[in-house]
Amino acid sequence: MRTYMITPPARCAAANRGKADPVGRRAVEKSNYSGAGAAHRPLRVGACLSLTGRYGLFGTQAANGLQVWRELDGAAQVTVEDDGSDPARLPDCLARMAPRCDVLLGPYSTGLMRAAVSLVPRLDRLLWNHGAAGDDVAKACPGRIVSVLAPASRYALPFVEHLARQAQRVPLWIVQGRGGFGRHVAGGAAVAASRLGLETVLVGAEARLSDLALPPVWDLFSAGSFETDVAVTSEALTLGRPPRALCAVAAGVQEFGRSLTDPEGIYGIAQWAPGSGEAPELGPSESTFIKNYSRLTSTIPDYPAVQAAACAVIGAHCARATGATDVEALWRAAASLRATTLFGPFRIDPSTGVQIGHEPCLLKWSAGRLTRVESTASP
């Protein structure tokens, strides 16, 4: 077990003198949270994240995003415990974290969040979901889980709408990855394509594209894990008749470009990408967050970092607005909130907690970098 506390120096100077915190920078003291029973101390934000293991890359990005948010907020303490990307460890991690925080953030990945669902009613904390897009977990505990990210069934919508606007409509082949996340993304792609009049063919991730009877002109959408999407994309690019348009969920993060020899022209899906240009109603601006994140990590943030920070922004706002940390008060505050953060709009379905205000965006690799594909009105 690894537990990291990102906390103001006045509370931890003796323990941390001469040391950097685990995600690379010192913290700055400010303590003005005045929630019930918490006068004169910072708001306590806790998160169980994958700092090691399968999801370590994106869990670490989320942890770095929380640190940047804490530094910019100036009145919060953040504690992160490593869940090791292990669903068997996560329930104990959350049970330990819940009584130590005012705002409790869930893990990164639908699989890990699914492992937490049965524990949520017993946590005595509202669980703020920033990293699990699976439709089933987003609505698993109404009144107990609030999601800031769009559900997986809506991931493919911007790419499918982009295809439907093309002069020539061709069959869309959908590779469904293993597990619930892949099933929800692929299912959403098929539903959207059918609604827009596109022909679809659904295949499993175990299928080899080279063994399939592919048409002369076709499009491809891969909905799997990061590793699955990289493998499917790599194979597709070697075919004698590669897809006209190729999109993979994993292509929406910077690491994808380092995993392929040449990602030029490939589309990706992201919950967020730089370039909105809009001033948020809550929390730091996009430009301020990116500048501070880049100073911390020497990289541009991917959406896991931004959605974690936005989750902290929303959770902290609700806790401070209500002056309370109990589940019902925070749920009422979240259910009635209509606001924007650097991540985009926030609005939940008040009966389920599912995010209905935020939408994913379509990106494209061009000249070695991800660029936003501007959307137009739906066909």
Q: Give residue 374's pLDDT.
A: 78
Provide the token pair at 210.
Answer: 């080279």
Q: Give residue 5's pLDDT.
A: 55
- Sites in the chain below the pLDDT cut of 50: 7-37, 377-379
What number of other Cβ atoms are within 10 A of residue 298's Cβ?
Answer: 8
> Which amino acid makes up residue 125?
R
Give residue-wise pLDDT tens across range 47-77: 999 999 999 999 999 999 999 999 999 999 9
What number of other Cβ atoms are within 10 A of residue 164's Cβ?
Answer: 17
Give residue-wise pLDDT tens across range 278-305: 899 999 999 999 999 999 999 999 999 9
Distance CA 244, CA 242 (A): 7
What total number of domains does the chain contain?
A: 2
Residue 180 lies in a domain: yes
As a residue count, the chain comes to 379
> Which amino acid makes up residue 275?
G
Q: Are residues 145 and 175 in the same domain?
A: no
Q: Are residues 179 and 114 in the same domain?
A: no
Q: Which residues of 270-283 are buried (b: 16+ CB within 10 A; e: fewer)?
A: bbbbbebeeebebb
Q: Give residue 170's pLDDT.
A: 97
Residue 356 lies in a domain: no
Q: Give residue 24's pLDDT.
A: 31
Query: Mapped to the 3 state alphabet, what secondary structure does the chain carry?
Result: CEEEEECCHHHHHHHHCCCCCCCCCCCCCCCCCCCCCCCCCCEEEEEEECCCCCCHHHHHHHHHHHHHHHHHHCCEEEEEEECCCCCCCHHHHHHHHHHHCCEEECCECHHHHHHHCCCHHHCCCCEEECECCCHHHHCCCCCCEEECCCCHHHCCHHHHHHHHCCCCCCCEEEEECCHHHHHHHHHHHHHHHHHCCCCEEEEECCCCHHHCCCCCCCEEEEECCHHHHHHHHHHHHHCCCCCCEEEEHHHHCHHHHHHCCCCCCCEEEECCCCCCCCCCCCCCCHHHHHHHHHHHHCCCCCHHHHHHHHHHHHHHHHHHHHCCCCHHHHHHHHHHCCEEECCEEECECCCCCCECCCCCEEEEEECCEEEECCCCCCC
Closest CA to 61 of 27, 1, 109, 123: 109
Residue 355 lies in a domain: no
Q: Give residue 180's pLDDT.
A: 86
Provide the token pair at 76.
Answer: 């919060």
Name the residue range of residue 188's domain. Answer: 154-270+362-372
Residue 57 lies in a domain: yes
Q: Are residues 99 and 196 in the same domain?
A: no
* Sequence-separated (6 or more) residues with CB below 8 Å from residue 66: 6, 45, 47, 78, 80, 105, 308, 309, 312
What number of other Cβ atoms are within 10 A of residue 217's Cβ?
Answer: 12
Residue 32 lies in a domain: yes
Q: Give residue 7's pLDDT.
A: 45
Q: Are residues 20 and 50 in the same domain?
A: yes
Q: Give residue 4's pLDDT.
A: 53
Q: Are residues 29 and 106 in the same domain?
A: yes
CATH of the domain at 290: 3.40.50.2300
Q: Are residues 29 and 139 in the same domain?
A: yes
Q: Give residue 261's pLDDT.
A: 87
Residue 162 lies in a domain: yes
> Whole-prediction pTM value?
0.84
Q: Are residues 325 and 246 in the same domain?
A: no
Q: Give residue 376's pLDDT.
A: 60
